[in-house]
Structure 1
Amino acid sequence: MSNRRSAFVLAATASGCGKTTVTLGLLSALLQRGLRVQPFKAGPDYLDTAWHHAVSGVASRNLDSFMLPQPVLNSLFNQHFLAADVAVIEGVMGLYDGYGTDPGYCSTAALAKQLGVPVILLVGGKAVSTSIAATVMGFQHFDPALTIAGVVINRVNSESHFQLLKQAIERYCALPVLGYVPLFSGVALPERHLGLVAARETHKDAQCWHEFAASLEQTVDINRLLSLCEKDPLPDTPLPQMLAHDAGAGLTLALADDDAFHFYYPDNLLLLERAGVRIVRFSPLHDDTLPDCQMLWLGGGYPELHARELSENRPMREAIRQAHRRGVAIYAECGGLMYLGTTLRDTAGQRWPMADIIPGHSEMGQRLTRFGYCEARAKSQTLLAAPGETLRGHEFHYSDFTPQCDAVLDCHKTRDGDVLKRWQGGWQVGNTFASYLHLHFAQRPEMLNHWFAAARSMP
């Protein structure tokens, strides 16, 4: 391998093909070679990035084409890639699956083309022989402008089976097959209703990832993969300056961070810190006092799994109510909304008192209430948007919130140009704003000026 950097997108033919597990194995293998890695995830997923971080020790960054304008996304990618030897981008869903039927919008393929990064295609090898070449050929020719640098075959039982698959692909597709991923016990990732179980909740021994990485070194030609994916940084792509470097100077943000609340984009926190905000972490589960602050953020997570502990921590619930009464600028996303409501009914049917700042009740269901990207237009002044301003984000929740106050957002979901659904969401009470919407602040950093102004309006 040369001294140049390498970058690749690990994409697959469909969801469930093992992208995350293989990504983690490759990250571990690259680290064991002494290389500096930077993991990325296409799309809005929090759980895959948490696993990237747990295995690599490096904060994984989301590259979301719906929430982030192209210049912003490119700049964020470049900024983090410049500090690494290898950028590993885990794709989302199947290679050409995007938002609607347009493979050029919010798909893994579109992201790879936008960044000029080649694709390594992960293809399942179970119960197939020559037909695998037809699958690869379809992905190869669906978009001739996309660079597929090589193929890795997952779930292969034997060396002889791999050789049969390799010969078929290389004969009919003229694409290099870089190796295979054998069946390997011990690295299957646990799942629950939102997808993977969060990395912080499990106690997988790092040794299993080291052993998996050692196995991949034997079955995947990583040297060739890196040489095929050599990549220069993008041309000069400075991040658009839309937020003064001292916009949040003098403000302290209390950040909820424990097993109940931990869904945060690292770039959001970095943006706040670069604006001068001091971030202090606390636990609504275990602490009984709140840090001295003018801003408070309750992110997404799994409050439904910890409803009893959250409810029984009365000192913390009261501390947050007092902060609200003092005018602390409180922002809550998804799980944070559930905590700020009046009550939460868990999956067992037990109803638990919550912070009672946003009047309303949360209840867990058995299936997704809402899933996917959406846009939200502010009807009145909120913590992040003035009337008429639009926020782009995504929702992914099994709970439903029945409000007892008026919503402040007009939300809608479109697909292929058609509006599929409209609904009301988001609730503002005093200096507190909560909704189901997960946001990437880099889409329009000046939205944070509203939050800063609200924080400074405290008596």
Structure 2
Amino acid sequence: MTSQGARACAAVLVAAPASGQGKTTVAAALARLHARQGRTVRAFKCGPDFLDPHWLALATGAPVHSLDLWMTGEADCRARLGAAAEVADLVIVEGVMGLFDGAPSAADLAERFGLPVLAVIDARAMAGTFGALAFGLQHFRPGLPWLGVLANRVASERHGGMLQEALREPAQWLGGLPKAGEFALPERHLGLVGAAELDHPIARLDAAADALAATPLGRRSLDSLPPFRVDLPTVSMTPVQPLLAGRTIAIARDAAFAFIYPANLDLLQALGARLVFFSPLAGDTLPACDAVWLPGGYPELHAGVLSACHALRDALAAHAAAGRPIWAECGGMMALFETLVAADGVAHAMWGLLPGRVAMQKRLAALGPQQLALQGTPLRGHTFHYSLSETTLVPAARTTRPGAAQAAGTGEAVYVRGSVRGSYFHAWFPSSPDAAARLFLPAPIAFADA
């Protein structure tokens, strides 16, 4: 495949030695700092994630897509980065977990596309070791594009000086952010609290941007950053067939059902579907539609309200009885069981389209990339949940891990009851448009091993 040169812009991949170091805070602060100065900023999230993108989208004012060399694929990553570079002054990619964690990792993405790495290190209770961590991150993989290191949660000016002195190369120091509650982003069991759930989220981003503006990183001009360019393929992608033309898909979307990739919505529309949204938490009933998508989210935090949605429950039952499809992912599936036991042990009657119950656990129940074969075509995605289900239904299929043998009966179950299809599996629809379309068509699905 031949390629053509693309416009250059500034770019950075914000990484860390582990989760919880402050990657999202720094990435969103950097985006907000430049966006409020009138620059065009585009942000991405490395790996599967629904929550961090909420903050990045708020900071940039634009949709935030995922980049993953396995789940979304290199061609998709290249096309999205290239499109962003064509319009942006600055492209920011937030890493996932630690810089070298996962397969593929954030380091793999940085290396593949030449994205310079900004390492964020939580420096609490640390001095000289800060230098060792920074040196190791930079040199663990020879040739990794590198920008520098930023300390997070710095206790004092003196502490910051100790951290800076610990670096072997003074030019690597890009500053430090103080320990400050006014811009800390709160977390819960699946990750950060969504921006829409907090009061004055922009004020938090502005406080973080103000703090970053006082650092060497914040004072650097974009012209001083290494130019970033993505070679765009000259061969166009195969057009998506309008397999859902004329069909209306109703999608639950609110604080209980917020785990929606913008790329999935784009793909459904490219397939020809008309999308309508409804909020169970606001008391909405089911809009007129041909199919329903109940995405993941936090039904366990709103179980009392969802339990009282009797009109919606009855409408979903009538929809299923008429043979119209329902695709329910993770939290969406949880709401369809008869009972949901929340973390406090309280049992809530749910919508009852699937027999059995789900119960929240104290520990993570599953995490990682997964794929599901529909009609022999693999649909890629992932899983991440704290609840477990108990049901008399026999799984119609199970997901598999990429490139790994696994014991029989493992992987995420896919439950089918009439036209209702549910799983803990989160699908990335663009990985297989044909397979994604089948989830919203009334014809039975032939599942197989991926």
TM-score normalized by structure 1?
A: 0.88
Shift of the alpha carbon at 1:281? 0.6
Shift of the alpha carbon at 1:456? 12
Deviations 1:74-103 (A, max 9, x none): 2233234433221111111111111xxxxx
Q: Residues of 2 paired with 1:167 and 1:51: CA distance?
A: 32
Shift of the alpha carbon at 1:59? 1.8
Q: Residues of 1 paired with 2:440 and 2:386: CA distance?
A: 31
2:4 maps to none
Secondary structure in 1 matching 2:131 = helix
Secondary structure in 1 matching 2:227 = coil
1:140 maps to 138
| 8 Å Cα contact 1:181/1:220 also seen in 2 | no
* 2:307 corresponds to 1:311: yes
- What amino acid does structure 1 have at the position aligned with 2:423? S
| 8 Å Cα contact 2:379/2:435 also seen in 1 | no
Deviations 1:98-129 (A, max 9, x none): 1xxxxxx3211001112221111112333333
Shift of the alpha carbon at 1:34? 0.8
- What amino acid does structure 2 have at the position aligned with 1:296? V
Report the CA distance shift for 1:238/1:447 in structure 2 as closer, same or farther (over 3 A): farther
Among 22, 33, 38, the alignment partner of 2:37 is: 33
- What amino acid does structure 2 have at the position aligned with 1:157? A
Deviations 1:284-325 (A, max 9, x none): 222343111112110001111111211111011001111111
Among 222, 225, 228, the alignment partner of 1:228 is: 225
| 8 Å Cα contact 1:242/1:446 also seen in 2 | no
Identical aligned residues as a percent = 37
Among 379, 390, 402, the alignment partner of 2:378 is: 390
Among 43, 51, 58, the alignment partner of 2:55 is: 51
Secondary structure in 1 matching 2:439 = helix
Shift of the alpha carbon at 1:334? 0.2
| 8 Å Cα contact 2:377/2:435 also seen in 1 | no
| 8 Å Cα contact 2:66/2:72 also seen in 1 | no
In structure 2, the gaps of 5 or more residues are: 1-6, 446-450
Q: Residues of 2 paired with 1:164 and 1:436: CA distance?
A: 46
Q: Residues of 1 paired with 2:134 and 2:295: CA distance?
A: 40
Among 417, 423, 431, the alignment partner of 1:429 is: 417
2:160 maps to 162
| 8 Å Cα contact 1:119/1:148 also seen in 2 | yes
1:286 maps to 282
- What amino acid does structure 2 have at the position aligned with 1:426? V
Deviations 1:31-81 (A, max 9, x none): 121111111111111111112223333221111233122212222332344
2:150 maps to 152
Report the CA distance shift for 1:329/1:229 in structure 2 as closer, same or farther (over 3 A): farther
- What amino acid does structure 2 have at the position aligned with 1:28? R
2:406 maps to 419
Q: Residues of 2 paired with 1:168 and 1:271: CA distance?
A: 48
Among 414, 435, 440, the alignment partner of 1:447 is: 435
Q: Residues of 1 paired with 2:352 and 2:92: CA distance?
A: 43
Secondary structure in 2 matching 1:233 = coil
1:63 maps to 67
| 8 Å Cα contact 2:213/2:219 also seen in 1 | no
Among 108, 115, 119, the alignment partner of 1:121 is: 119
| 8 Å Cα contact 1:255/1:279 also seen in 2 | yes
For the aligned residue pairs, the C-alpha RMSD in angstroms reads 2.5
Q: What pairs with 1:13-412 in structure 2 (closer than 5 Å)?
A: 13-98=17-102, 105-169=103-167, 172-173=168-169, 175-222=171-218, 224=220, 226=222, 227-236=224-233, 240-241=237-238, 243-244=240-241, 246-377=242-373, 385-386=374-375, 388-412=376-400
Deviations 1:407-448 (A, max 9, x none): 111334478x55378246011222221100011112122213
Q: Residues of 1 paired with 2:42 and 2:424: CA distance?
A: 29
Secondary structure in 1 matching 2:69 = coil
Q: Residues of 2 paired with 1:407 and 1:420: CA distance?
A: 15
Secondary structure in 2 matching 1:327 = coil
Secondary structure in 1 matching 2:138 = helix
- What amino acid does structure 2 have at the position aligned with 1:232? R
2:448 maps to none
Q: Residues of 2 paired with 1:36 and 1:190: CA distance?
A: 27
Shift of the alpha carbon at 1:237? 6.6
Q: Residues of 1 paired with 2:115 and 2:231: CA distance?
A: 10
Report the CA distance shift for 1:410/1:125 in structure 2 as closer, same or farther (over 3 A): closer
2:3 maps to none
Q: Residues of 2 paired with 1:191 and 1:353: CA distance?
A: 27
- What amino acid does structure 1 have at the position aligned with 2:112? Q
| 8 Å Cα contact 1:242/1:445 also seen in 2 | no
Comparing 12-21 with 342-351, greater Cα deviation is found at 342-351
- What amino acid does structure 1 have at the position aligned with 2:79? S
| 8 Å Cα contact 1:251/1:278 also seen in 2 | yes
Q: Residues of 1 paired with 2:248 and 2:86: CA distance?
A: 30
TM-score normalized by structure 2?
A: 0.90
Report the CA distance shift for 1:306/1:126 in structure 2 as closer, same or farther (over 3 A): closer
| 8 Å Cα contact 2:296/2:329 also seen in 1 | yes
Shift of the alpha carbon at 1:242? 5.5
Q: Residues of 2 paired with 1:134 and 1:264: CA distance?
A: 39
In structure 1, the gaps of 5 or more residues are: 99-104, 378-384
Shift of the alpha carbon at 1:361? 1.5
Q: Residues of 2 paired with 1:113 and 1:237: CA distance?
A: 22
| 8 Å Cα contact 1:74/1:237 also seen in 2 | no
Q: Residues of 1 paired with 2:305 and 2:129: CA distance?
A: 53
